[in-house]
Structure 1
């Protein structure tokens, strides 16, 4: 990198706005959600364009929301609005009429743009044409598509090994683009396929695959409507998966009980005012959680063991009435060893470790004692810990003790974040493909795919620093802001010869770059994708394993945009030239042709083009859902797992921090500066602390502080935050990401899954130094 060029900042500016704190809400959605949603859409897209988009979003024959992966109903969908507040805000982001042309980039240097916060950067508009930042350059400048592909191909083909390049994927990439992307990368010669799943639900797949035989959940949306108990652990549906609230309300109406487990009293766990029915419009809420367990950060394992121990004691008194002994005998292994391990624990000690009163744990056990139709849901609050994989295996233990899998109204439900992150993995976006998957690629296409496992996200960042990577290609997403150890990641990106981003909008990842950088603007989900006068459709997979079509209906803001699939096909052709055995022109011109070949490679996609066009799509095969278990080398049985408790010893001046989303963001995309459910307005640089901790540390609410992490003797600092007193367990704190991702060490990861431990960061808090 030219040292004379000003290096753009990797972090948000250290500046405060005008923070206003109000009482946290005890319910989610309602009329305020409708108002906030429509305001964003109409401001960005206008009334006519905005309403057209909203009317078609998540409708059969319409386009799939680019936000969360919560499933659409299989049957009739809402005639009013089959979307939530955050889905509408996601549409506003992509349907905006503001666009960034070469003139914008000529007037705004990379360094100047980096002085803006992430909210301001994102509000600039859609990128309208390909742009290129030359070595030593200060401004992006227009480049033709052909020249962009030639330049990327030049860099890729001059590497000493294909393994010197890494190809990242975000969760919004369609099935078709994901398939052609991995096909190009493997024909190019590497399995360096880091993806956003590495940072979120990798722990779920790492726990579920060796136990139940599939790295996905086992329930359908209809199971929520006919269950006895729903356990929500380490998940905040009101902010992260708002449409889930409707399913929970329906479950409650049908008699289900809900147990919520979380360090924070989140509004979406407590109550729901459904704006699509009369009660909600009148402000009448449905109480969601029948029991709320305020667990300490990472106290989930101790809590689960305590529940299991109480259920075991009840089973001893009433053999066969509490545990499903028939299921345990016929479908599991290791029951005796599991019980022996469980008996080593004392319930009162487990209660102390998890921070939940023993009386509440006893109440939980009573609610579960005679029930088997139990669904357990979880998300990042479970996965992003060192023991995340083991905690999910403990969830499996509880599930199989009760026989709560492979039957209606029961099962496991990892709630995915981004809309097609599960589909990406189905389409073979994975750095560790199986031999069977690679053999199938070879059989269908005739080339020998690489067999050596590739790099995941954390490994890719480390490889940048070690000089093992020279080119980094990002298919969507905001890699810099999503990853841990922000400054460490930024320094790695700056070492690249070339960084490439396929994007709809500007983000900080474009401003921290390699010696050369290219931004390739792509169509959004809501955009019409016309090829030879014919509107193309894509497909996505939701959290429940349903694959359905998505067809954009809005006119793109620029005629100089390409779909992700076309970008991949044209890049593959430019890079591989005569070496390729794939007809990339055919794939670029017809997504049906892509799907015809996808079904030859991936099980469960038979007759894909017909079935994906059926209203509502189709379910992928899911053996555990049908009571068939194919865990690794387990002979069709689910193994109990003997797990260990993790001890967290803090110094007197240390706290545990978890990073969280505000209600006004989706992943790293910041929609606004209000987190109205938690009572935070016009600010993001806040740290939520227990009031006792604030006084004990000599602070008061409203104080300005700096946050530090000292893992491995290295100081990581996030400066200028405001203390907010909040109902959170003692010694626990919470902050918004990406502002505090700088504090998440690159080498504190979950065992097995290598997922960054963003929910478990040891910090010190000091008075802000001006």
Structure 2
């Protein structure tokens, strides 16, 4: 009789039953430090991560507790630190040994594994190599390219969430001094629906909770995120909540191990006994793209419970005093049939009513969500449905309750706060004009998707990238890679080499910068930068390792170097002075944002920093009417991806050995994948319906694409408990299937999490 266990005999696929965290995490940390021959100054680098006098981890944006322990790092944070603090070096000699054409054949992991960039480099077309260039020459070449633009909008200024507040503020100042609002940034590819959707609902595009609120919540709703991999320090918070009796409900197409059970590496009992703490009280495997209908179904059931209890479930006093639009949303939700809700959400009526009873009975609810919710065609509206659910019971603006978007990069939220935005408000631009003696541009700039289209059309002559791996992170690499090659000059501020740096046009520069872990000494002495976490806390970050090379410059110094070369010594902006003393940058940030950053330099020197104003936390709603808004879900017309039997919806995933586009290794321990990434997770019935079996090689092609170019070929099928009609594969390998036009209609965020595809046996 055939073995009915799933995936038996599939190379690299092994059952993994251990809890998240535990000894597996400690072993992985040790391996990461060893593989990278990490620079550890007195063994203190990791012990200074996320400490009041240390550096902010270059990984996730989860906040630091007020009372720090002996170590406040996680497995993937340790990998990020090891990757940055590596002793490996990408020297000019390394570049001399390899042409750009050859490097393009290397894997993304191999490129970054060359180590830290040590010298500024310029692409030489004659030799097809990067050659050393003096810093002054690099600045002059960049300035010349910007100075000779026909129009400022021929420049694009891309920012990664890794940049500090100081670097981001200088970067937006440089771009607006040039005369453009073209600031595509990594927010455009992840939480832009939060930035677009939440202001309409609650008047602010950020979360409303603090870390302390999790101590008071008796219900935590978790939508579309995998904390064990993408923000592992959150696991301590969830574990503590579970152990004190809070209910945690998880909504996600795949069951992720960290939301099932977690063993805290800091708990000697769990480590000694190999025990763990259960996390989710119930797990609802919503269909890909079905979150909005799942939430509306919960609302429908809650409204029914309120009617049955004669009005004791809803917080009607809060609704009357603080909100508008309740009756309209109520009518829409009650008008949905259970057949519609079940078909669209992938959940049964019984499951949804079970979740509704938990919500109705909870005193204080926090709702967390990640990119599993924000990377679809209707994500901005879906985010608003989460707010609708919270507003029903007044779960915003009181202890233990609120909305909690889970940001990825450690300062992606801070970059937006200090001005990295292609659609700046008039109030911000007016403030910029007041502080600086030039007129800021008013026309909206480009998102990431719009930037790629502009490149493709030959409208972009200069691209300046402040960190990140733009082309690999972006959708539709077939078009994106070709578009990058049309840019006249690409300037990349980076710590390591990545594939985007190899997609050169006529000219390309690599400008190596300091990392978070490194000491930053400028004319004014040793400097600290500041960052903002997911909960609006701003705190300082100070490196402690010696720089990887004496040729490295800080991000603020590089930006200021370009500004000084472009505008000269008599400019209205004192570029050299700002680079020499970051207190002066913070003074300017305070001048532009006087309410948010009052006494910036004094407050950021306090242990733990300070919290920016979050009006919804005080039940102050900065909406036109001054009230929070119940908003009807905006469907994007008929979605052609549903209702066709041969079309499946694919979601892209990060592996456990990965942070954004950075791939630390080939393992995805919690999902039982080892030594490979070329797999597609599918429901066994979907596999069998196509006459296939686990382990078969298959091709995925983008549905509704006549070009045939959007395809991944020769991947291996892996059985997984995932809703019927849904697939999962790794990012960025599956990005080729995401069409540039397939994005959230309002925010422009690519639909990485709901890609229409067809699956067939490998054609060879």
Q: Shorter-chain-normalised TM-score: which range? A: over 0.9
What SS class does the counterpart of residue 587 from structure 2 fall into?
helix
Shift of 1:644: 4.2
Q: Residue 604 of structure 1 corresponds to which residue in structure 2?
A: 596
Q: How far, CA to CA, are the matches of 1:762 and 1:642 in structure 2?
A: 22
Determine if the alignment matches structure 1 residue 181 to structure 2 residue 171.
yes
Q: Residue 616 of structure 2 corresponds to which residue in structure 1?
A: 624
Among 52, 55, 73, the residue aligned to 2:47: 55
TM-superposition CA deviations, 1:554-602 (whole Å, max 9, x none):
0112000000000000100111226731011110110011111110002
Shift of 1:699: 1.5
Determine if the alignment matches structure 1 residue 320 to structure 2 residue 311.
yes
Change beyond 3 A, Cα 1:719–1:496: same
Check whether the contact 2:39–2:86 (CA below 8 A) recurs between aligned residues. no
Q: Residue 581 of structure 1 corresponds to which residue in structure 2?
A: 572
What SS class does the counterpart of residue 231 from structure 1 fall into?
strand
What SS class does the counterpart of residue 259 from structure 1 fall into?
strand
Shift of 1:31: 1.0
Alignment map for 1:412-451 (pairs within 5 Å):
412-451=403-442
Q: How far, CA to CA, are the matches of 1:714 and 1:395 in structure 2?
A: 38
Check whether the contact 2:530–2:540 (CA below 8 A) recurs between aligned residues. yes
Determine if the alignment matches structure 1 residue 85 to structure 2 residue 75.
yes
Q: Residue 22 of structure 1 corresponds to which residue in structure 2?
A: 14
If the length of structure 2 is used for normalisation, what is the TM-score? 0.96
Q: How far, CA to CA, are the matches of 1:158 and 1:46 in structure 2?
A: 43
Shift of 1:260: 0.2
Check whether the contact 2:524–2:580 (CA below 8 A) recurs between aligned residues. no
TM-superposition CA deviations, 1:134-174 (whole Å, max 9, x none):
34541100001001111111111111011101010000000
Check whether the contact 2:382–2:633 (CA below 8 A) recurs between aligned residues. no
Determine if the alignment matches structure 1 residue 310 to structure 2 residue 301.
yes
Q: Residue 5 of structure 2 corresponds to which residue in structure 1?
A: none
TM-superposition CA deviations, 1:430-456 (whole Å, max 9, x none):
001011100000101121011111111
Check whether the contact 2:40–2:545 (CA below 8 A) recurs between aligned residues. no
Check whether the contact 2:649–2:726 (CA below 8 A) recurs between aligned residues. yes
Deviates more, 1:247-256 or 1:459-468: 247-256
Q: Residue 739 of structure 2 corresponds to which residue in structure 1?
A: 745
Q: Residue 721 of structure 2 corresponds to which residue in structure 1?
A: 727
Shift of 1:372: 3.8
TM-superposition CA deviations, 1:212-262 (whole Å, max 9, x none):
011000000010111010000011111111110000011122221000000
Check whether the contact 1:60–1:615 (CA below 8 A) recurs between aligned residues. yes
Q: How far, CA to CA, are the matches of 1:62 and 1:406 in structure 2?
A: 32
Q: How far, CA to CA, are the matches of 2:741 and 2:339 in structure 1?
A: 34
Q: How far, CA to CA, are the matches of 1:230 and 1:67 in structure 2?
A: 24
Check whether the contact 1:271–1:287 (CA below 8 A) recurs between aligned residues. yes
Q: How far, CA to CA, are the matches of 1:254 and 1:643 in structure 2?
A: 38
Structure 2 portions without partners, runs of 5+ = 1-9
Shift of 1:353: 2.4
Q: Residue 250 of structure 2 corresponds to which residue in structure 1?
A: 260
Alignment map for 1:87-486 (pairs within 5 Å):
87-281=77-271, 282-486=273-477
Among 707, 724, 728, the residue aligned to 1:714: 707
Q: How far, CA to CA, are the matches of 1:444 and 1:48 in structure 2?
A: 42
Q: How far, CA to CA, are the matches of 2:245 and 2:608 in structure 1?
A: 27
Alignment map for 1:612-691 (pairs within 5 Å):
612-631=604-623, 633-644=624-635, 648-691=641-684
Shift of 1:398: 0.4
Q: Residue 7 of structure 2 corresponds to which residue in structure 1?
A: none
Q: Residue 759 of structure 1 corresponds to which residue in structure 2?
A: 753
Q: How far, CA to CA, are the matches of 1:359 and 1:546 in structure 2?
A: 40
Q: How far, CA to CA, are the matches of 1:717 and 1:617 in structure 2?
A: 48
Shift of 1:130: 0.5
What SS class does the counterpart of residue 368 from structure 2 fall into?
strand
CA RMSD of the aligned region, Å?
Answer: 1.5
Alignment map for 1:519-598 (pairs within 5 Å):
519-532=510-523, 534-577=525-568, 580-598=571-589
Check whether the contact 2:700–2:757 (CA below 8 A) recurs between aligned residues. yes
What SS class does the counterpart of residue 557 from structure 2 fall into?
helix
Change beyond 3 A, Cα 1:620–1:577: same
Shift of 1:38: 2.0
Q: Residue 4 of structure 2 corresponds to which residue in structure 1?
A: none
Structure 1 portions without partners, runs of 5+ = 1-17
Shift of 1:533: 7.5
